[in-house]
Amino acid sequence: MTHAADPSTQEVAHRHAHYPDLAGRTAVITGGSRGIGAATAAALAANGAAVAVVGRDKNALAAVTADITRAGGRAIWTAADCTKPDELQDMAASVTGQLGPIDILAAFAGGNGMPVPTDQETPDHWRQVIESDLNSTFYTAHAVLPGMIERHHGTIITMSSAAARQAARSAAAYAAAKAGVIAFTRHLADEMAPHRIRVNCLAPSTVENDRIRTWVPKEQLKALAASFPLRRIGQPDDIAAAALFLASDASSWITGTTLDIAGGKIMI
Ligand SMILES: NC(=O)c1ccc[n+]([C@@H]2O[C@H](COP(=O)([O-])OP(=O)(O)OC[C@H]3O[C@@H](n4cnc5c(N)ncnc54)[C@H](OP(=O)(O)O)[C@@H]3O)[C@@H](O)[C@H]2O)c1
């Protein structure tokens, strides 16, 4: 099994397919400070893209950027809260100023938090989850779209979840937010197709992250792995591999899709 925090871009390049068209592109990865976003940033950088990693944790952003730079990639970081449209507008302007026009957006910021049974859910917490897992995707796309529309060029990858595909005792708010991301992706893809901007969505099932490593006991993790047809949980690199494909011209006739990356658990 490979892990996301692998510092060697060379090793990442070895693990991932190589897409020559990604060289020289500018990519923004929100949620880039850890987990799936950090793995995707490293994979894009290993393919020659200049990457901007975005999140709130400045130390983690600096560490991800340093790892990529040390391995020979081009990376910068910008702190922004993806629930704050103004910060995202500043982020887009700053990245464009430093790295050039944005070609690729991986809008991955978000996260499940603790599942709450719906009868115990509060309106405030519900709104908070919708804000951080759905509205943030709109705010982020909205900040980069003008530049992409102007250039008639770009690809956007959004982040849903297996929770949006079937009920699995995840929190209803999170599932509703992530289902909203799928609908948003389809509509945006349709609107943006005339501008030659593609928009696709990823829907992972359980992917190892800090929370899972910290809170899920080993035995429970084993049982969880056994519940997947492919007998393991996902690794951030599994998702990064799909993001690379959707970012590259290799997927140039694919837009509006949602790709389930779920070890066979979700088959639609
Ligand atoms: N892991 C899974 O099993 C799984 C499955 C399906 C979907 N997903 C989705 O994949 C994405 C990444 O998940 P992960 O497992 O890699 O999570 P993670 O390790 O917890 O990372 C979450 C990332 O999102 C960022 N983030 C969260 N809220 C933000 C906000 N308001 N503004 C800016 N950044 C924000 C965090 O940045 P800071 O900490 O720097 O703020 C962090 O980089 C999420 O959207 C999650 O819902 C994960």
Query: Of 26-40, 179-193, 210-224, 248-262, which range is least confident?
Result: 210-224
**Is 139 a pocket residue for ligand 1 (Cβ < 6 Å)?**
no
Local confidence band at 225 (pLDDT 50, 70, 90 cut-offs): very high
- pLDDT score of 47 more than 90: yes
If one residue of 201, 207, 237 were mutated to test the ligand 1 pocket, choosing by the most ligand atoms within 8 A of its CB, it would be 207
Q: Which atom of ligand 1 is nearest to the CA of 233?
A: 3
Q: Between the CA atoms of 156, 178, 202 and 166, what dihedral angle is there, to the nearest 10 degrees?
A: -160
Confidence (pLDDT) at 6 = 39
Local confidence band at 14 (pLDDT 50, 70, 90 cut-offs): low
pTM of the model: 0.95
Local confidence band at 165 (pLDDT 50, 70, 90 cut-offs): very high
Tens digit of each residue's pLDDT (9 = 90 or more) over 88-107: 999 999 999 999 999 999 99
- pLDDT score of 1 more than 70: no
**Is 207 a pocket residue for ligand 1 (Cβ < 6 Å)?**
yes
9-261 topology per CATH = Rossmann fold (3.40.50)
**Share above pLDDT 90 across residues of the chain, in percent, rounded to a whole number:** 88
**Is 265 a pocket residue for ligand 1 (Cβ < 6 Å)?**
no
Please identify every residue annotated as catalytic: 174
**Share above pLDDT 70 across residues of the chain, in percent, rounded to a whole number:** 94
Confidence (pLDDT) at 115 = 87
Confidence (pLDDT) at 4 = 40
**Is 165 a pocket residue for ligand 1 (Cβ < 6 Å)?**
no
Tens digit of each residue's pLDDT (9 = 90 or more) over 170-210: 789 999 999 999 999 999 999 999 999 999 999 999 999 98
